[in-house]
Amino acid sequence: MKVTFEGSLAIVRPFGFLEVNITPSSIKKADIEQICARQISAILLSLKNVTFFSPLWLNSTCEHLSSIAKQIGAEFAVCDYDDTFYELVAKTSKNILRFSLFENEKVATLFLNDTLADSSEAIVIYNKNEQYKDYINSLLEQKCYKCKFVKSVEEFNAAKQAYKYTISTLNHIVLGKKEFSTFVRGDVVIYKTAGLIDSSFVQNFDYKFHERLQKVGFKFFVFWSDSVGALNTIGASFLIK
């Protein structure tokens, strides 16, 4: 297996025929150590270059990578599968899956990468489930993206030719809302909080991470706090500094 890094994502890329006897141990120890050492937001298992895999291989690999992700406080997800794979999962285990499924790496990046996609145009979404549409919209709005919902498959297929980012029904997204998130758009770092900016927040703020960002060249920092419920004097002093 090959491991690559895109922004804050660690992408595991297996390839070929993956039988029962090919276990997650084929992930190099050095790759695992590198994943754990980086500031990773998610581990992504891409099936793009896989010709065939056994259910046992997939299950053991997902468990192994999920365990690593949990250790470092990151998300785990699977991407780059075909319609048949998604339909099978949807019928057998969709309701009990503890991780997300993304139709391709591009869609996964929108939700998981802390480096925001450079897109001023809307993200086109097709889904008949109104509650699920609201959920997807809320997740993308947290990251400053605009959403455009279409009502039919025909309209969605037409939009795929005109828009860079489109999200179909072949996704299963299970992500919790974060109280505090860090995103990068271009040369700007965005700190976004949905909780209280008080003494507890100030105490838990990762100053070392902020200093590392400054050392690697970031000069512009935006504190997005329009959804904050309250701000006391300590929080106000923190923002001013």
Least confident window among 10-14, 39-43, 103-107, 184-188: 184-188
Predicted pLDDT at 26: 65
Does the structure show a pLDDT above 90 at 232? Answer: no
Q: Which of 93, 114, 111 shows the shortest CA–CA distance to 102?
A: 111
Q: How many residues does the chain have?
A: 241
Predicted pLDDT at 52: 79
Q: Which two tokens stand for residue 217?
A: 């060249």
pTM of the model: 0.73
What is the C-alpha to C-alpha distance for residues 109 and 237, in angstroms, rounded to an integer?
35
DSSP characters over 37-76: HS--SEEEEE-TTEEEE-HHHHHHHHHHHHHHHHHTT-EE
Give the distance between the most distant pair of CA atoms in the chain.
60
User: Do the bridges between strand 42-46 and strand 75-79 make them parallel or antiparallel, or are there none, so unpaired?
Assistant: parallel
Q: Which of 111, 125, 120 shows the shortest CA–CA distance to 183?
A: 111
| DSSP structure class, residue 13 | E
What is the C-alpha to C-alpha distance for residues 27 and 155, in angstroms, rounded to an integer?
42
Does the structure show a pLDDT above 70 at 230? Answer: no
The residue with tokens 């109280």 is: 179
* Overall CATH class of domain 2-167: alpha beta
Of 13-22, 116-125, 130-139, give the range with the top mean pLDDT.
130-139
Predicted pLDDT at 236: 64
Question: What residue segments make up the domains of the chain, in order of their start?
Answer: 2-167, 180-240
